[in-house]
Structure 1
Amino acid sequence: MEGGLETVYHSCRAELLRFLLARTGSAAEAEDILQDIWLRVGQGRSGPVANGRAYLYRVAQNLVLDRLREARRRAVREQGWMEMAAGVDLRHADPADPNADALAQMTEREEVARLASAIANLPAGARRAFQLHKLEGLSHDEVAQRLGISRSGVEKHMAVAMKYLRRALSED
């Protein structure tokens, strides 16, 4: 890490933490982002920095935005799973965020549709275990009880499901 940027980081660390706390509302998340800043700055990917303090605040703001975007994508994905579990026709689903950019909405819908298709094509036992565990939120023990199989059987079904989904989704 550049000596100058490292010094700036240490001198405004508490300030950055307050900045991040105000934007995230979570002390734990603010600390995580602060750690990410330290790691990113420490990798020395940036060239010469004219204003180290402004640079660190820009990195902080970008990381907050990245986390917000990821949370939105995760929410859309989970909503798609819940709709799929409830039997909602995903081809006619409303966009999750009316303010989101049209390309992002289309991409998210395509991802949900690809995932729904891949889940539908899972072997029956793996599909049922996956739905109970991932979509309904049951533990492996609860899935085993519900399906009348051992916990080991559930783990095997989940391994098959995850392997199949990884392969099916990476082919597209």
Structure 2
Amino acid sequence: MNDSIAVFEASRRRLLSIAYRMLGSLAEAEDVVQDTWLRWHAAGAADLQAPVAWLTTVATRLAIDRLRRSKRETALPDPWLEEGLPSAADDVERLCDLSYGVLLMLQRLSPDERAALLLHEVFDVPHQEVGRILGLKTEHSRQLVRRARARVQAGPVRRGASADSAHLAHAFVDAIRRHDEEAVVRLVRGVDIVGLADHVAPRALTARGTTARLQCVNGGWGVAVLRYGRIDVLLSIEDGGKLYAVRPQVVRQCGLDVPATTPLIGAAMSPT
């Protein structure tokens, strides 16, 4: 692997993270990363003085262009699934993971506001560099971030995985695996459900052929509900008793793209 490819591969996760949080779609984010690679290859990367900053700039601008061209409204973002589960030890490594709630609030922002807020608040890019990436003056970057914060009406967009969320995720998995409808009723009554409410009904979660496993969703605690060995719905557990229910078209599991209709054999994770 030559130096140019090594530098790009070392930045791939960052670029994918930025594009995903901008677009709310893993498929589109991967397209952005691919387009960034093509421009990187064509630019003569060996001659660039600040390759990581160049890559960040290109990926951000490509994502902004996609947002400006797109008029669609996305009800819920695609899920970002990982094999590992959150723990206190790796909270620091998950600081740039965003909850479903924050990703939905970001949809209220203009493309430039979204980019400025994400780059500065999530990826710790200084205002001067944010301004350079967006083609703005430094003070304008500060104004964009302040306006974006006010529009989403949220605190810091970073988050860790709380003990309450972990407890709720474990409780859902245990109740679903035991097909304990009464236990699921108690759990559902205590949360605010957003998304596929009918798929989170106690009878649906405890029906024949249904089981569950713990699943890391967007860096936080979640539950994958499987029906006859296939993922039927994903539950993203948020702090404050909010639960987002989504049915992904494609599931990212163990580094592979696995269609949601494909049986996941041996992929279950122990809740202990």
Larger Rg, first or second structure (1 or 2): 1
Asked whether the two chains share a fold, i.e. TM above 0.5, the reply is no
- TM-score bin, normalised by smaller chain: 0.3 to 0.5
TM-score, normalized by length of structure 2?
Answer: 0.24
